[in-house]
Amino acid sequence: MIETYEDWIGSLGLPIHRGFFVEDLRTVETGWWEERGCEVAFIRLTGQEDLLETKVIKIPPGKTTQPWKFALDDVFYVLEGKGLTAVWGMEQTARKTFEWGVRSLFLIPRQSYYQLSNAQGDKPAVLLSHNYFPLATQVVADPEFYLNNSYLPEEANVLEEFYSEAKAIKREADWGSDTGGITWSGNFFPDLGIWDRLDRFERRGAGGHQVRIKYPIATRGGGNSMSVFPAGRYKKAHYHEAGNFIVIPAGEGFSLIWDDDKERIFIPWHEGSCFAPQFYHQHFNLGTIPARYLKFGYGWGGMRRHAQRYFHTRQIEYPDEDPWIRETFEKELSKRGLKSLMPNEVYKKYDYDWEYAKDSDAD
């Protein structure tokens, strides 16, 4: 197999971080990319495979990146700092400028020019960029085709209502929620650390909630989802293949990843951590506040949707899990002087009914 994308990033001479997780994206080693006018590091974790590009972009204090055009939709998450983004078409028409801060999430539409500016004069701004560049290079095996290609026309009217307020779209009950819910459709979300327009995420247990995010102008309806679950609890284990990437907006805990009978990989996390879950995996909240994890990769087309329909059925219910899971969770909590808030009944009843506070912002 021709490793087009891997060969390309290797030729840039920039840091490439590999493994199962990155403990803190805000502090990873980066290198200067002259063409972009900023520092960059590539994140190539086990679980991303040849599907996802994730990179850290660090903008020096008070500086602006070089104008850049990318042929694919590109999602940005702000890890640290505050600043401005300008987006425009080939003829400088419909130029849009918007402000962002820590934990903002936004989309740069395909075939648009853009610049990122750091509004702080004393410290860098750090952003995460996520797209499907490796997958695309398996179709057109020339990375330069996607970068600053003036022959690729801009999408008609793609910027007309680009940063209007996110809209709520009613969703029928499905595998993620027995009660249905809302998908939020928009291209800019100011702070996912405090986002409270959530739906119950009943299937995964722990009394957790989620928000699903859709970008209305993204190719094939791409988007994100974010799960929120209470302190002292953990989610059910489930299985899927590669193609997701998680970054932590808030909370402290750990996740486990394993493939059938293979050894479990322990991944500690806190705000700014990232990993790429695949095979069986499970998430645990060790903090004193609700934990949040933001998933990239949700909804990237028909192949993904069919895969999710199949793989979501491979879930391990609490009564069926290895007792080692519960023991490990309680042991990790005890190191922090905390106790599990998982009800004992959940390990006996398959249909345990979690309580959701009716007056909660998360409901």
What domains are there in the chain, each with its CATH number? 4-146 (2.60.120.10), 167-341 (2.60.120.10)
Whole-model pTM: value is 0.92
Each residue's pLDDT expressed in tens, for the chain with a length of 363 residues:
458 999 999 999 999 999 999 999 999 999 999 999 999 999 999 988 888 899 999 999 999 999 999 999 999 999 999 999 999 886 666 788 999 999 999 999 888 899 999 999 999 999 999 999 998 998 899 999 999 887 767 665 556 667 777 888 887 765 555 556 889 989 999 999 999 999 999 889 999 999 999 888 776 556 899 999 999 999 999 998 888 899 999 999 999 999 987 899 999 999 999 999 989 999 999 999 999 999 997 444 444 444 444 444 589 999 999 999 999 999 999 999 999 999 999 999 999 999 886 434 443
Mind spelling out the 3-state secondary structure of the chain?
CCCHHHHHHHHCCCCEEEECEECCHHHCCCEEECCCCEEEEEEEECCCCCCCEEEEEEECCCCECCCEEECCCEEEEEEECCEEEEEECCCCCCCEEEEECCCCEEEECCCEEEEEEECCCCCCEEEEEEECHHHHCCCCCCHHHHECCCCCCCCCCCCCCCCCCCEEEEECCECCECCCEEEEECCEECCCCCCCCCEECHHHCCCCEEEEEECCCCHHHCEEEEEEECCCCECCEEEECCCCEEEEEECEEEEEEECCCCCCEEEEEECCCEECCCEEEEEEECCCCCEEEEEECCCCCHHHHHHHHHHCCCEECHHHCCHHHHHHHHHHHHCCCCCCCCCHHHHCCCCCCCCCCCCCCCC
